[in-house]
Amino acid sequence: MADTVRIERDDMSLEVTLPRKVRRVVSLVPSITEAVAATAPDLLIGATTWCTHPPDLDVERVRGTKNPDVRRIVELAPDVVLLNKEENRELDHQRLRKAGIAVWVTVIEDVDSALRSLARLFTAALDLPVPPWLTTATERLGGGVPEPVARAVVCVWRDPWMVVGSNNFATDLLRRIGVENVYANHDGRYPQMPLEDIKTSGADLVVLPDEPYEFTTEDGPEEFPGRARLVSGRSLTWYGPSLVDARDTLSRQLGLVPEA
Protein backbone atom coordinates (compact mmCIF):
# COMPACT_ATOMS: atom_id res chain seq x y z
CA MET A 1 0.00 0.00 0.00
CA ALA A 2 2.85 2.37 0.83
CA ASP A 3 4.02 2.10 -2.78
CA THR A 4 0.66 3.08 -4.26
CA VAL A 5 -0.74 5.77 -1.97
CA ARG A 6 0.40 8.74 0.04
CA ILE A 7 -1.21 10.57 2.96
CA GLU A 8 -1.39 14.37 3.03
CA ARG A 9 -3.25 16.85 5.21
CA ASP A 10 -5.67 19.37 3.73
CA ASP A 11 -6.33 22.92 4.96
CA MET A 12 -8.47 21.53 7.80
CA SER A 13 -5.56 19.31 8.89
CA LEU A 14 -7.57 16.23 7.95
CA GLU A 15 -5.68 13.26 6.58
CA VAL A 16 -6.40 12.57 2.91
CA THR A 17 -5.27 9.31 1.33
CA LEU A 18 -4.28 9.95 -2.28
CA PRO A 19 -2.83 7.82 -5.07
CA ARG A 20 0.79 8.45 -5.95
CA LYS A 21 -0.39 9.83 -9.27
CA VAL A 22 -3.67 11.75 -9.29
CA ARG A 23 -5.42 11.33 -12.65
CA ARG A 24 -9.12 12.00 -11.97
CA VAL A 25 -10.35 15.14 -10.22
CA VAL A 26 -13.82 16.49 -9.49
CA SER A 27 -13.97 20.12 -8.36
CA LEU A 28 -16.99 21.56 -6.54
CA VAL A 29 -15.49 25.08 -6.32
CA PRO A 30 -15.63 27.40 -9.37
CA SER A 31 -12.37 29.18 -8.51
CA ILE A 32 -10.53 25.91 -8.04
CA THR A 33 -12.04 24.41 -11.17
CA GLU A 34 -10.58 27.28 -13.18
CA ALA A 35 -7.25 26.94 -11.37
CA VAL A 36 -6.94 23.23 -12.19
CA ALA A 37 -8.20 23.72 -15.76
CA ALA A 38 -5.56 26.38 -16.35
CA THR A 39 -2.80 24.16 -14.96
CA ALA A 40 -3.61 20.51 -15.62
CA PRO A 41 -6.84 20.36 -17.64
CA ASP A 42 -6.57 16.65 -18.36
CA LEU A 43 -7.15 15.90 -14.67
CA LEU A 44 -10.68 17.31 -14.50
CA ILE A 45 -13.53 14.88 -15.04
CA GLY A 46 -16.33 16.72 -13.22
CA ALA A 47 -17.35 20.17 -12.01
CA THR A 48 -20.43 22.07 -10.87
CA THR A 49 -22.85 23.97 -13.09
CA TRP A 50 -21.46 27.14 -11.47
CA CYS A 51 -17.98 26.42 -12.81
CA THR A 52 -18.15 28.87 -15.72
CA HIS A 53 -14.41 29.29 -16.40
CA PRO A 54 -12.83 28.45 -18.65
CA PRO A 55 -15.91 28.95 -20.88
CA ASP A 56 -15.05 25.94 -23.02
CA LEU A 57 -14.66 23.54 -20.09
CA ASP A 58 -15.99 20.17 -21.26
CA VAL A 59 -16.49 17.92 -18.25
CA GLU A 60 -19.49 16.25 -16.63
CA ARG A 61 -21.58 18.60 -14.50
CA VAL A 62 -22.55 17.31 -11.08
CA ARG A 63 -25.12 19.97 -10.09
CA GLY A 64 -24.24 22.87 -7.79
CA THR A 65 -21.87 23.76 -5.00
CA LYS A 66 -24.58 23.36 -2.34
CA ASN A 67 -26.41 20.39 -3.86
CA PRO A 68 -23.86 18.21 -5.66
CA ASP A 69 -24.94 14.87 -7.04
CA VAL A 70 -22.95 12.78 -4.57
CA ARG A 71 -24.12 9.49 -6.08
CA ARG A 72 -22.89 10.49 -9.53
CA ILE A 73 -19.59 11.79 -8.16
CA VAL A 74 -18.97 8.42 -6.52
CA GLU A 75 -19.80 6.69 -9.82
CA LEU A 76 -17.17 8.81 -11.58
CA ALA A 77 -14.55 7.27 -9.25
CA PRO A 78 -12.36 10.38 -8.85
CA ASP A 79 -8.98 10.15 -7.17
CA VAL A 80 -9.90 13.29 -5.23
CA VAL A 81 -12.78 15.76 -4.90
CA LEU A 82 -11.87 19.39 -4.23
CA LEU A 83 -14.05 21.39 -1.82
CA ASN A 84 -13.95 24.70 0.03
CA LYS A 85 -15.06 25.05 3.64
CA GLU A 86 -17.20 28.13 2.95
CA GLU A 87 -18.61 27.28 -0.46
CA ASN A 88 -19.52 23.64 0.11
CA ARG A 89 -21.54 21.82 2.74
CA GLU A 90 -20.10 19.72 5.54
CA LEU A 91 -22.89 17.21 4.84
CA ASP A 92 -21.58 16.55 1.32
CA HIS A 93 -18.02 16.38 2.63
CA GLN A 94 -19.04 13.65 5.05
CA ARG A 95 -21.11 11.76 2.48
CA LEU A 96 -18.21 11.63 0.06
CA ARG A 97 -15.76 10.50 2.73
CA LYS A 98 -18.22 7.83 3.92
CA ALA A 99 -18.40 6.56 0.34
CA GLY A 100 -14.63 6.11 0.35
CA ILE A 101 -13.81 9.14 -1.80
CA ALA A 102 -10.72 11.22 -1.02
CA VAL A 103 -11.77 14.81 -0.32
CA TRP A 104 -9.42 17.80 -0.14
CA VAL A 105 -10.91 20.85 1.62
CA THR A 106 -9.48 24.32 1.18
CA VAL A 107 -9.90 27.08 3.78
CA ILE A 108 -9.59 30.61 2.43
CA GLU A 109 -10.23 33.79 4.42
CA ASP A 110 -7.88 36.33 2.84
CA VAL A 111 -5.42 36.79 0.00
CA ASP A 112 -2.44 35.23 1.79
CA SER A 113 -4.38 32.13 2.80
CA ALA A 114 -5.67 31.82 -0.78
CA LEU A 115 -2.16 31.92 -2.21
CA ARG A 116 -0.90 29.40 0.35
CA SER A 117 -3.89 27.12 -0.09
CA LEU A 118 -3.58 27.06 -3.87
CA ALA A 119 0.13 26.30 -3.65
CA ARG A 120 -0.56 23.37 -1.30
CA LEU A 121 -3.40 22.11 -3.47
CA PHE A 122 -1.05 21.79 -6.43
CA THR A 123 2.04 20.57 -4.62
CA ALA A 124 0.51 18.35 -1.92
CA ALA A 125 -2.88 17.24 -3.23
CA LEU A 126 -2.09 17.00 -6.95
CA ASP A 127 1.69 16.49 -6.70
CA LEU A 128 2.38 19.16 -9.32
CA PRO A 129 4.72 22.17 -9.41
CA VAL A 130 3.40 25.58 -8.43
CA PRO A 131 1.93 26.94 -11.68
CA PRO A 132 3.47 30.09 -13.23
CA TRP A 133 0.21 32.04 -12.97
CA LEU A 134 0.17 31.47 -9.19
CA THR A 135 3.76 32.67 -8.88
CA THR A 136 2.82 35.82 -10.79
CA ALA A 137 -0.27 36.40 -8.65
CA THR A 138 1.79 36.02 -5.49
CA GLU A 139 4.28 38.61 -6.74
CA ARG A 140 1.53 41.07 -7.64
CA LEU A 141 -0.64 40.72 -4.55
CA GLY A 142 1.90 39.91 -1.85
CA GLY A 143 3.86 42.43 0.16
CA GLY A 144 2.69 45.45 2.11
CA VAL A 145 -0.79 46.94 2.15
CA PRO A 146 -1.08 50.54 0.90
CA GLU A 147 -2.79 53.35 2.77
CA PRO A 148 -6.50 53.47 1.86
CA VAL A 149 -7.56 55.95 -0.80
CA ALA A 150 -11.28 55.20 -0.56
CA ARG A 151 -13.89 53.63 1.72
CA ALA A 152 -16.41 51.24 0.25
CA VAL A 153 -19.42 49.05 0.89
CA VAL A 154 -19.51 45.81 -1.09
CA CYS A 155 -23.02 44.52 -1.74
CA VAL A 156 -23.55 40.85 -2.57
CA TRP A 157 -27.35 40.69 -2.55
CA ARG A 158 -30.43 42.88 -2.54
CA ASP A 159 -33.95 42.51 -1.11
CA PRO A 160 -32.67 41.85 1.47
CA TRP A 161 -29.46 43.81 1.05
CA MET A 162 -26.37 41.93 2.18
CA VAL A 163 -22.79 43.19 2.30
CA VAL A 164 -19.28 41.82 2.63
CA GLY A 165 -18.20 41.91 6.27
CA SER A 166 -15.17 40.61 8.15
CA ASN A 167 -12.69 37.79 7.66
CA ASN A 168 -13.13 37.16 3.99
CA PHE A 169 -11.19 37.21 0.78
CA ALA A 170 -12.91 40.19 -0.90
CA THR A 171 -12.28 42.52 2.06
CA ASP A 172 -8.56 41.70 2.04
CA LEU A 173 -8.24 41.93 -1.74
CA LEU A 174 -9.74 45.44 -1.67
CA ARG A 175 -7.23 46.41 1.02
CA ARG A 176 -4.45 45.47 -1.39
CA ILE A 177 -5.65 48.07 -3.87
CA GLY A 178 -6.20 50.80 -1.29
CA VAL A 179 -9.92 50.38 -0.61
CA GLU A 180 -11.16 50.03 2.97
CA ASN A 181 -14.33 48.02 3.54
CA VAL A 182 -16.66 50.03 5.79
CA TYR A 183 -17.98 46.80 7.31
CA ALA A 184 -14.61 45.06 7.67
CA ASN A 185 -15.05 44.87 11.45
CA HIS A 186 -18.65 43.68 11.45
CA ASP A 187 -19.29 40.50 13.45
CA GLY A 188 -20.73 38.76 10.39
CA ARG A 189 -18.95 37.72 7.23
CA TYR A 190 -21.93 38.62 5.00
CA PRO A 191 -24.36 40.54 7.20
CA GLN A 192 -27.80 41.66 6.14
CA MET A 193 -27.90 45.46 6.17
CA PRO A 194 -30.80 47.93 5.84
CA LEU A 195 -30.54 49.91 2.62
CA GLU A 196 -30.62 53.19 4.53
CA ASP A 197 -27.61 52.10 6.61
CA ILE A 198 -25.65 51.42 3.43
CA LYS A 199 -26.59 54.81 2.03
CA THR A 200 -25.51 56.62 5.20
CA SER A 201 -22.41 54.49 5.93
CA GLY A 202 -20.01 57.21 4.78
CA ALA A 203 -18.67 55.05 1.97
CA ASP A 204 -17.09 56.79 -1.00
CA LEU A 205 -17.96 53.83 -3.22
CA VAL A 206 -20.69 51.22 -3.29
CA VAL A 207 -19.27 48.17 -5.04
CA LEU A 208 -21.77 46.07 -7.00
CA PRO A 209 -20.31 42.82 -8.38
CA ASP A 210 -22.08 40.66 -10.96
CA GLU A 211 -22.20 37.64 -8.63
CA PRO A 212 -23.61 36.08 -6.54
CA TYR A 213 -26.36 38.64 -7.20
CA GLU A 214 -26.06 39.94 -10.74
CA PHE A 215 -26.03 43.71 -10.33
CA THR A 216 -26.31 45.49 -13.68
CA THR A 217 -26.59 49.04 -15.01
CA GLU A 218 -30.37 48.65 -14.62
CA ASP A 219 -30.37 46.96 -11.22
CA GLY A 220 -28.53 48.45 -8.25
CA PRO A 221 -26.75 51.70 -9.22
CA GLU A 222 -29.99 53.70 -9.05
CA GLU A 223 -29.88 53.40 -5.25
CA PHE A 224 -26.42 55.00 -4.97
CA PRO A 225 -26.12 57.81 -7.52
CA GLY A 226 -22.54 58.87 -8.13
CA ARG A 227 -21.08 56.21 -5.86
CA ALA A 228 -22.04 52.89 -7.46
CA ARG A 229 -19.33 50.91 -9.21
CA LEU A 230 -20.13 47.74 -11.16
CA VAL A 231 -17.27 45.25 -10.96
CA SER A 232 -16.40 41.72 -12.00
CA GLY A 233 -17.38 39.26 -9.29
CA ARG A 234 -14.75 36.89 -10.60
CA SER A 235 -12.02 39.51 -10.09
CA LEU A 236 -13.30 40.33 -6.60
CA THR A 237 -14.08 36.92 -5.14
CA TRP A 238 -12.41 34.17 -7.19
CA TYR A 239 -9.01 32.87 -6.09
CA GLY A 240 -7.64 31.32 -9.27
CA PRO A 241 -5.94 32.63 -12.42
CA SER A 242 -8.07 35.79 -12.18
CA LEU A 243 -5.76 36.85 -9.32
CA VAL A 244 -3.10 37.72 -11.88
CA ASP A 245 -5.12 40.67 -13.20
CA ALA A 246 -7.40 41.31 -10.21
CA ARG A 247 -5.55 44.39 -8.97
CA ASP A 248 -5.54 46.13 -12.36
CA THR A 249 -9.10 45.10 -13.27
CA LEU A 250 -10.66 46.22 -9.99
CA SER A 251 -8.65 49.45 -9.87
CA ARG A 252 -10.05 50.39 -13.29
CA GLN A 253 -13.61 49.34 -12.53
CA LEU A 254 -13.60 51.23 -9.23
CA GLY A 255 -12.28 54.37 -10.92
CA LEU A 256 -9.02 54.39 -8.97
CA VAL A 257 -7.04 54.58 -12.21
CA PRO A 258 -8.11 55.86 -15.65
CA GLU A 259 -9.62 53.38 -18.09
CA ALA A 260 -7.12 52.33 -20.74
Q: What is the DSSP string of 83-102?
A: EETTTS-HHHHHHHHHTT--
How confident is the prediction for the chain on average, in pLDDT?
95
- Both 113 and 64 in a single domain? yes
* CA 11 from centre of chain: 15
CA–CA dist 68, 48 (Å, integer)? 7
* Domain span including residue 239: 150-253
Task: Please tell me what DSSP assigns to residue 38.
Answer: H
Whether residues 157 and 127 share a domain: the answer is no
Compute and round to an integer the Cα radius of gyration of the chain: 19
- Percent of the chain past pLDDT 70, that is, above it, reads 98
Cα(146)–Cα(5) distance, integer angstroms: 45
Whether 113 and 188 share a structural domain: no
Domain count, the chain: 2
| Same domain flag for 165 and 229 | yes
Question: Looking at the predicted structure, is the pLDDT value of residue 162 above 90?
Answer: yes
> Using CB atoms within 10 A of its CB, is residue 151 exposed (0-12), middle (13-18) or buried (19+)?
middle
Instruction: Please indicate, yes or no, if residue 239 is contained in any of the structural domains.
Output: yes
Same domain, 25 and 80: yes
Give the end of a domain, one of 84, 117, 140: 140
Tens of pLDDT along 42-51?
999 999 999 9
Give the residue from 74, 108, 140 where a domain finishes.
Answer: 140
Strand ranges (E), the chain: 5-9, 15-19, 25-27, 44-47, 60-61, 80-84, 103-106, 150-157, 162-163, 179-181, 205-209, 228-231
pLDDT band at 1 (very low <50, low <70, confident <90, very high): very low
Asked if 176 and 107 sit in the same domain, the reply is no
Residue pLDDT, tens place only, 71-85? 999 999 999 999 999
Domain shared by 42 and 155, yes or no: no
Q: What is the CATH number of the domain that holds 75?
A: 3.40.50.1980
In a domain, 222, yes or no: yes
Contact (Cβ atoms closer than 8 angstroms) between residue 224 and residue 206: yes
Q: Are residues 126 and 181 in the same domain?
A: no
